[in-house]
């Protein structure tokens, strides 16, 4: 049977048994995109269920350690190496701790 985008649940006699599947909406979530939060509160998609679930997962870390021994003056340095550069994008603002 082909998947129709609807999933069935046994929620009780007073609740609808067919709900919209949101797995495609939350399948690929990055720290920079929040499609699920954008869809919440939409007047066209009223929440009528009495049982609400919230999925929690950790996003990729957006902090790292500085791995550059050539820094002479940390307060004025504008370019340096980090251990995991893939955690950042060009244009990210950073704050050095310590």
Cα–Cα distance, 18 to 30 (Å, whole number)? 28
Q: Average pLDDT over the chain, rounded to whole?
A: 70
pLDDT at 84: 83
Per-residue pLDDT tens over the stretch 17-65:
555 666 665 565 566 666 666 666 666 767 676 776 777 777 766 778 7
In terms of pTM, does the model score above 0.85? no
* Size (the chain), residues: 98
Residue 9 has pLDDT above 70, yes or no: no
Cα–Cα distance, 62 to 54 (Å, whole number)? 23
Beta-bridge mates of residue 20: 6
Per-residue pLDDT tens over the stretch 65-75:
777 777 777 77
The sign of the CA dihedral 66, 68, 69, 73 is negative
């Amino acid at each position: 049977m082909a998947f129709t985008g609807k999933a069935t649940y046994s929620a009780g006699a007073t609740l609808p048994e067919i709900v919209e599947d949101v797995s495609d909406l939350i399948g690929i979530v990055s720290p920079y995109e929040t499609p699920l939060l954008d869809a919440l509160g939409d007047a066209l998609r009223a929440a009528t269920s009495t049982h609400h679930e919230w999925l929690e997962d950790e996003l990729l870390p957006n902090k790292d350690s500085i791995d550059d021994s050539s820094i002479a003056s940390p307060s004025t340095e504008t370019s340096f190496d980090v251990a995991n550069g893939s955690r950042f994008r060009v244009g990210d603002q950073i704050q050095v701790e310590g």
